[in-house]
Chains A and B, each alone.
Chain A
Amino acid sequence: MSKSLFDRINERSLSRRSFIKWSSAVTAPVIIGGIASETKIVDKVNAAGTVKASNEQILSTCSTINCGGRCLIRAHINDGVITRLSTDIKEDTFELPQLRACIRGRGYRQFVYNPDRLKYPMKRVGKRGEGKFERISWEEAIEYIAKELTRLTDKHGPASRYSNYSTGHSGSIIGAGNMIQKIFALTGGYLGYHNSYSSAQTSTATPYTYGTTQTGNTLNTLSDSKLIILWGHNPVETRWGVTDYYVKKAKETGVKVVVIDPRQSNTAVGLADEWIPILPTTDNAMMDAMQYVIISEKLYDKNFIDKYCVGFDEENMPEGVPQGESLVGYILGDKDGVAKTPEWAEKICKVPAETIRKLAREYATNKPSALLQGWGPQRQAFGEQFVRGGTVLAAITGNVGIRGGWASGSGYISLVKTTSVPKGTNPLGNLTIPCFLWTDAIVRGTEMGEKDGVKGLPEGQETLPSNIKAIFNLAGNALINQHSDCNKTAEILRNENLAELIVVSEIFMTPSAKFADILLPSNTFMERWDIGTTWAPSQHAILSQKCIENMYESKSDYEWLTMLAKKLGIEKEFTEGKSELDWVKWSIEESRKKDPHFPTFEEFKKQGIYQVSLENNAVIAFEKQIKDPENNKFETPSGKIEIFSKALWDMNNPEEIPAIPKYVASWEGPEDPLTKKYPLQLIGWHYKRRCHSTFDNNKWLEEAGPQVMWMNERDAKQRKIKDGERVRVYNDRGEVQMPVKITNRIIPGTVAIPQGAWWSPDDKGIDQRGNINTLTSQRPSPLAKGNPQHTNLVEVRKA
């Protein structure tokens, strides 16, 4: 709204009197601690004309949950209780947009003041996973953990100790997972992990094209594009900083936006000029066909390819590779006799040939154009191909390194760099497993080597020295809920002879919490200090201020890990004399050494945020390499953009890890013979109302976004299923029962369950809540060893 309008409204000056009059009409119950108190309502209703002067304090903060937005939250605090939240209210400009909270951020009070919060430490009394616990003191909990940890380390060695991937409430610069690793490091070492559940395939595959994952531009450059393609990208729900805002701004200036997605996502509804539905796991068929159009109609940027790329055609291949392996060779079918035409692709991906042709022409001839890839489609069985396919489309059309273009791939960019608390050096070196394979490492760790993606094995050692015996799952739900195949995972965890110690810190009794031996109550971000930054592209950092005192007996992970360190005799080494707040101040000073504009602690407290203005400021990935290639090589082995990767070629697994991106027919894809038994493809998505599995128990958000499975009208009709009915969704790995939403916003042949619902098996092991991971597979992707959670076949019947 314009300033003048504001002024006009203010000039009407609602008198104090009318404010008081309004207050007598207020109808809302006052909620303290999330519980509506009827006395309070009556008090308020009767209090007409006697409004007390407010002593409200407003602190700005930021959630450090693993959320793509990391918005600015202003907590309104009265007598130590947060009574309301508001969001960024600074002047809203294109260069410095407000960081407005989404539905999740607006619902934080129901998270912090949820009566179901874990209130004190507990010890398991039933069988593991049953969820039976007894209350113990913090001292008893620490005593038990220290004793068991020492016993297991003596027996199995330090490589048996593992901090499980967890990002739920793990914090930002002071990550709980990092801090337990610091304790491990100070007491002999640990088994680490690499990758993430979010981006394993893209973080691994993108560098094979570009030599780096830093392939994103600042978002203001989207307004300089002529066409924006969001491929499997749904920033309206996932939130990527303020990507949705900048796409809208681009659209307002006339930029065309195309969304490719099996679902007509909220992004497709709110921002797309055109939505192209596609079958999951077949993205590369469409990409191959787009390349066919671009190559056969000579729409590619020949100068760009000659100058910056390797592997396009037979003339610019690396040495030692036989004929017919170039991109052009593959696309035209020189070797396999199959030209990858739009008609060929249509049969696989269900996108009409003319739609593919049109988009290919639009993308290649409207330079600059931006192809942004979401991370959803890379979480499939051959997700590496999706990533590489996007980068090759960007490269052959010359959309790399120019304003308004986009290099595609992982898309990281960080304008604001924060400094994390160091976790010390692991005495076992950089011994890591892919984070997705931790259940394997419990069962068969001593058989796992390089072929399983294990890194950092010492010279002469081919496999891990130990299976995982002690698991610390701090502030995350990947112990079962967010990992694939819940039933298989539960079976592994229930066996107390495999993992002998499971320590979980949590805010609620989540599915992961139920598998704890020792369960510790964590505080929330409102009760601790930290610094938050967004997912890529990161343009800001926010001080996550402590707004209220720890509730119940809860502690931050750093607080109780300090107790554990003391018990183990390493408190000084662990804390280095610093509290959480001290570390935040330390981090700020370290960041200021690298970036003099980074605010001091006092400034940060006052302004809440450090946001880099995009006024006269644009970062474009690979701009230097394109402008001045002589002095700026790409960080690949050839120094060029590698359409053909010799490194991948040398892996000698062309069917699963081809040297150029290709459509690979996926197991549990539409071409798998298993479709006879399980004819529907199943995918998940990041639902607006949850941040992964966080907030599944938030009643406001459940009302706004109930847990339902999307199913197309045709598929429902065939099965005589009606909207809103409960259905059985099943495959060989398990069964889910949940309500269905019949909608044509999803392509026929595919169903979708929003990820993150809390796994709730009944007596028969049938999940009653709708957790997609009841049905997902633990089979990793070939190159990254990443999670393939959008690759599933299922059947659906009326429950």
Chain B
Amino acid sequence: MVQLGFFINNEYCNGCKACVIACKDKNDLEVGVNFRRVYENSEGDYVERDEAFIQNIQTFFTSISCNHCENPACVKGCPTGAMHKREEDGVVLVDQNKCVGCKYCIWNCPYGGPQYNEKIGKMTKCDFCIDLIDKGENPACVGACPMRALDYGPIDELRKKYGNVRDIKGLPSSSITEPNIVINANKYAK
């Protein structure tokens, strides 16, 4: 079995959200439903010296979707078995025929991955654009990033290429769900 994962180059993310909207377009998502999300983290203040301002503002953005975790909390907590992890590539999916829209997965996922669709009363989420991968294309978000700051592939390959970091400031501890992501941390996210 191959496990798919995402690489997030946190250093170059500028918060443009092209990934978010490319994902919405691909999946026809209403406002409020975002399979991929970008968070701003900004800290710091100015020191006022004489009449000048010396800034110490530390800002970075983090783009995150479903991390198709090794131990997905959403799957564990799903009472119907709708939320499941696919054998062949480890992609976490919702079986719409089983989902009753109870939202337990939302409570359990520390990353905000599962996204409830009011119109159909069921849970929805990132499916890794497996249809596009099937056609030899990038997932919508990966192909969208103007900074080429997103990548995907078998997680083993990603780790060989980019390292093992998956804990950065602002994200929950990776020990909870073992997310299949690799991050090049922004200098302010370390």
Give A residues with C-beta under 8 Å from B. 1, 5-6, 8-10, 12, 14, 18-19, 22-31, 36, 38, 41-42, 45, 48, 84-87, 89, 92, 100-103, 105-107, 109, 236-237, 242, 244-245, 248, 264, 266-267, 269-271, 275, 277, 346-347, 350-353, 355, 688-689, 699-705, 713-714, 743-745, 747-748
A747 to B54, CA, bound (A): 10
A271 touches B96 (CB 8 A): no
A18 touches B88 (CB 8 A): yes
B147 touches A245 (CB 8 A): yes
For residue B123, which residues in chain A have a CB less than 8 angstroms away from its CB?
27
Question: Measured between C-beta atoms, what is the minimum distance from B47 to chain A in Å?
Answer: 9
Q: Which of B89, B97, B146 has the most CB of A within 10 A?
A: B146
Per-position 1/0 for B16-31, Cβ under 8 A of A? 1110111011111111
Per-position 1/0 for B119-136, Cβ under 8 A of A? 110111101001101101
A25 touches B42 (CB 8 A): no
A242 to B123, CA, bound (A): 38
A229 to B172, CA, bound (A): 36
A236 touches B44 (CB 8 A): no
Known pairs A5-B153, A10-B136; A102 contacts B130 (CB<8 A): no
Main secondary structure of the interface of B (DSSP, over half): mixed
Which of the residues B32, B59, B120, B140 comes within 8 Å of A264, measured between beta carbons? B59
Question: Measured between C-beta atoms, what is the minimum distance from B128 to chain A in Å?
Answer: 9
For residue A103, which residues in chain B have a CB less than 8 angstroms away from its CB?
16-18, 20-21
For residue B55, which residues in chain A have a CB less than 8 angstroms away from its CB?
264, 275, 277, 744, 747
Known pairs A29-B120, A36-B30, A275-B57; A100 contacts B127 (CB<8 A): no
For residue A350, which residues in chain B have a CB less than 8 angstroms away from its CB?
51-53
B49 at the interface (CB under 8 A from A): yes
In chain B between 127 and 169, which residues have their CB closer than 8 angstroms to a CB of chain A? 127, 130-131, 133-134, 136-138, 140, 142-148, 151-154, 157
A703 touches B32 (CB 8 A): yes
B143 touches A89 (CB 8 A): yes
Q: Which of B22, B25, B34, B61 has the most CB of A within 10 A?
A: B25
Known pairs A5-B153, A102-B146, A703-B32; A84 contacts B45 (CB<8 A): no
Interface pairs (30), CB distance under 8 Å: A5-B153, A5-B157, A12-B2, A19-B131, A24-B96, A26-B96, A26-B127, A27-B117, A27-B122, A27-B123, A29-B119, A38-B120, A86-B143, A87-B22, A100-B18, A106-B24, A109-B25, A236-B14, A266-B14, A266-B15, A267-B14, A271-B12, A275-B57, A347-B50, A351-B53, A355-B52, A699-B31, A703-B32, A744-B57, A745-B59
A569 to B190, CA, bound (A): 71
A248 touches B57 (CB 8 A): no
Question: Measured between C-beta atoms, what is the minimum distance from B90 to chain A in Å?
Answer: 12
For residue B54, which residues in chain A have a CB less than 8 angstroms away from its CB?
352, 355
A106 touches B21 (CB 8 A): yes
B8 at the interface (CB under 8 A from A): no
Pairs A-B, 5 closest by C-beta atoms: A270-B14, A27-B124, A106-B21, A352-B52, A28-B27
Identity of the chain B residue whose Cβ is nearest the Cβ of A276 in the assembled complex: B55
For residue A269, which residues in chain B have a CB less than 8 angstroms away from its CB?
14-15, 59-61
A350 to B49, CA, bound (A): 9
